Amino acid sequence: MQKLTKEQIKEFKLCEQIIKDNSKTFYKAFSTLKSKADRYAIYAIYAYCRVVDDSIDEYKDLDLLKSYERKLSALKNGNIPDDFIFRSLNEVIKTYYPIKYDFKPYYELIIGQEMDYRFTQPNTLNELLDYCYKVAGVVGEMLGYILAEKKDVDKINRVAINLGEAMQITNILRDIGEDKKRNRIYLPKDVMNKFNYSKDDLYNEVVNENFINTVEYLALYAHDKYQSAIDQIDLFKVDARKPLLLASKFYEAILDSIRMNNYQVFSIRSIVSDETKKEIIKTLL
| Domain boundary assignment for the chain | 1-117, 119-285
pLDDT for the residue 285: 67
- Per-residue buried b or exposed e for 107-141, using 16+ beta carbons within 10 Å of the residue's own CB: bbbbebbbbbeebeebeebebbbebbbbbbbbbbb
- Looking at residue 202, its pLDDT comes to 97
1-117 against 119-285: fold identical: yes
pTM, whole model, 2 decimals? 0.92
Position 237, amino acid: K
Mean pLDDT by 10 residues, the chain (285 residues): 92 97 85 91 97 95 98 97 98 94 96 95 96 94 88 81 92 96 95 98 98 98 94 89 88 96 96 89 79
Does domain 1-117 fall under CATH 1.10.260.40? My reply is no
If one counts every other C-beta atom within 10 angstroms of the C-beta of residue 79, the result is: 10
* pLDDT given for residue 160 in this prediction: 85
Topology (CATH) of 119-285: Farnesyl Diphosphate Synthase (1.10.600)
